[in-house]
Structure formats: C-alpha cells, structure tokens
Structure 1
C-alpha cells in the first residue's frame, strides 16, 4: 500500500507503543483485593483493556466485558485503582521493540506524530514521560481530553484540525477495533500492529505491520 501521501501519524498507546498489561493487571488485582475479591489472571485483565480506565474498573470488578459494577463499589474501586496505578505506572511496562527507532525515523522525516489513546490524559502523559517517549509527540489526546474517545472520529478529526491537514492524510496506528473504527469514521488510513493485544487479521485495517519501524520505509517520498 502506498503511504507517501501521509502527512501525520497518530498512535494508540497500550498494545501499540507499550505493553502495559503487567502494571494494569497489578493495579486491577490490588483493587480487587481492596474490595475483597480474588485476583484475576493477567490474560483476563488484558481482555478488558481498550476503552479507558473507567470501563476497565467495571470489567475488572465484574470480570465481564459488558457488565457494570455496583455504583458505590465502582467508585471505591476506581479511586483505589487510579491511586495504585499512578504510583506504579511504569514498574513493569515496557516499550515494544522497534517503537523508539520507528518514532525517531518518522520524526526525522518531519512527520508530526500524535498520541491518541483511550487512557485518561493524566495517566497517559506521565507514562510516556517516564518511558522517554513524550518528546516524539506534537499532541497527546487522552480518553478524557475531548467529549468523545475512540471509536469516535472526534480525536482524529481534532488532531487533523490542530495540524492543519485533511483526515485522509492521517494514518492511525493501533492494535484494536476501536483504532480501526475511529480511522474509518474519520476517513483516515487504518494501520494495525501484529504484536498487539488483538489479532490484527480480524481488525479489517488497511494494512498490518510487525514493527513501528516498518512505517518509515512505507512513507518514504523518494
């Protein structure tokens, strides 16, 4: 696929740039213990990730994808989760291979990079700062930055407006159905990473890559 028209690249965070499941699972299980519940396997926590911390807390309490926890339990759990997770944000979270090189190569080509995540901004910003990724991004949009988050097109359209580019010249790189749906809704190119939390072959992206560093060759103008 020819990506030479791309003028900016947006990236998802969890499952795309970083593997945050160990710290999310630890926070979720610390919360469950606080609420008198037994721990869940990390794989279960991973299956509940992707729609922001508020949804993750509901799912981590109920261990169901579409259930909601009791209001007081959710509030107590949410407060505890946020406090624990913020204090252990990058204890075991790692940057995927090829991400640092890939971001640096794209920046060297003077392509603006945007972080669009459903993780709340107050957690996403310190996370990328602690992992040394913050300076790569011209703009960071969390799940609570705007009135809507992925799979809505709004974060992508907002990024395009800020950058002064048409949506069709933006590529959205992610690992989930939310990322692909947001790109489709915005009219942008959807790129899936094969190493993420979902099976890339099921997402219906325009193309899939094994590494962020692959994007450099796909977007070369010469």
Structure 2
C-alpha cells in the first residue's frame, strides 16, 4: 500500500474491537469460567478462552462449554450458559479490559484528519457500545456495528458494506483494521483495504502466509495508520 494511494482514497476507517482496540480476554475468561463453575465444570486457562474469541458470544459459549472450537453444547445447557455468561459479563465488562497502548492516541490522530471511524465487531452490539463507553472511546466513532446488528456478521462483507453505505462512500475507500482471519476475509469480500495488527489475538504471522487472509498492510500500533495517511507535506514536520 503506497502512502499517496492512502491519502487519495481512504475516507473512513473501520476497526474490530476485541484484540484490536482493546484487550478484553481477561474479563471474557472470567465470565467464561464463572459460567463453567455455575454449571459444575472446571475452569479453563485464559489462553484457551482467548483461542475461542472472535466469532461472537454465542459461539464463545458453545466453545467454552464443550472445550472445543467445533462442537456445540446441548441446547438446554447452552441456553442456561449463555444467559449466565451475558449477565456476568455485562456486570464486569471493563473490570480488567483496557485499550491497547496508543489506541486512544491513534484514534485521536485519525479524527484530526476528519476521517469518520466505525467499529465492526462480532460482539453483541449493546455490549460493544457499553464497553466503548466504559473505556472512554465511544465518542470517537460515527457508527458501531455488532455481530447481531445485521443479518450476517464477519467474515461476511455485509457489515462493512452497510457501514460504507451509511457513510455514503465506496467500500474501496475504507480501511478495515483487525487481528483475525474474520476481519481480513470480510475486508477482501467487501472490497476494502485490510490492515492487520500484530498485537491482537489472531496469529497474524500465520495469516500472512495464506493469500486469502493476507492483509494489505501490517501495523504494530494504531498511530501507524495516521503516519501513512497524513499528507506528505506534513511528514517532515
């Protein structure tokens, strides 16, 4: 991705939430293990719960209950577990969750360019909005789309296409920033430029070796987006 192309064409930036804007795994793992304890199950390591994150809370509950990425819990157990998880997690959304270093700096720099920012996450919309409020980040965003906001969630391109439509821009003029295969796949399917972060939950070094999940650009912090978007005449200042 060339700097000049970015300056000419980027009119909005979309961000994933968990693993991109903030590290939410400690609170997700705490809710997961509280749910397991409630159902008489032993706790899981935080790293295991982290490996189950990214496809929405409904899928996370199945994975935590079955200790598997692919199996589904019995419906009655899942309903009981999901209800408990949502209540517990909503009560402890930001006990341990924190924005990644330089998240707020990066968002502020992009806002200074007049670029609208959006969140496209597979987290339930109400939880995403409340978490961003509690972290003091919600005012940076013009639009927040959760996994239950539309008929489909990432890796479907629908949320990104919807965001572009709301902002009245072409998807080709929007960046999608994320840490997982879902983020990159959604961006490619929507025709957006994809930006992968190296500090999230996804194995970005593995994703770059697959053409389907290789992002257009890798960054180690959000301010790097600004450094590549701001006018060249400012870069020597």
> Given the two structures, how large is their TM-score scaled by the length of structure 2?
0.93
Q: 1:103 aligns with which of 88, 97, 107?
A: 107
C-alpha deviation, 1:221, in angstroms = 2.7
From 59, 66, 73, the equivalent of 1:62 is 66
The count of aligned residue pairs is: 222
Hey, what's the Cα distance between the residues in 1 that align with 2:71 and 2:218? 31
Pick aligned residue for 1:177 from 172, 175, 181? 181
SS in 1 for 2:222: coil
Query: SS of 1:196's equivalent?
Result: coil
Establish whether residue 206 from structure 1 lines up as the match of residue 216 from structure 2: yes
Q: Please name the residue that 2:123 is paired with.
A: 119
Deviation at 1:38, TM superposition (A): 0.2
Q: Which residue of 2 aligns with 1:220?
A: 230
Inter-partner Cα distance in structure 2 for 1:221 and 1:111? 13
Q: Can you give the 5+ residue segments of structure 2 that lack an aligned partner in the other structure? A: 208-213, 233-237
Secondary structure of the residue aligned to 2:118 is strand
Alignment correspondent of 1:167: 171
What are the Cα deviations for residues 131-189 of structure 1, in whole angstroms up to 9, with x where unaligned?
Answer: 00000000000000000000000000000000010010010000000000000000000
1:19-38 mapped onto 2 (5 Å cutoff) = 19-38=23-42
Q: Deviations over 1:101-138 (max 9, x none)?
A: 00000001000000000000010000000000000000
User: Residue 75 of structure 1 aligns with which residue?
Assistant: 79
Q: Does 1:18 align with 2:22?
A: yes
- Alignment RMSD: 0.6
In structure 1, the gaps of 5 or more residues are none
SS in 1 for 2:119: strand
Q: 1-side partners of 2:202 and 2:61: how far apart?
A: 20
For residues 177-213 of structure 1, the C-alpha deviation after alignment (integer angstroms, 9 at most, x for no partner) is: 0000000000000100000001212221111100001
Deviation at 1:95, TM superposition (A): 0.5
What is the TM-score of this pair, normalised by structure 1? 0.99
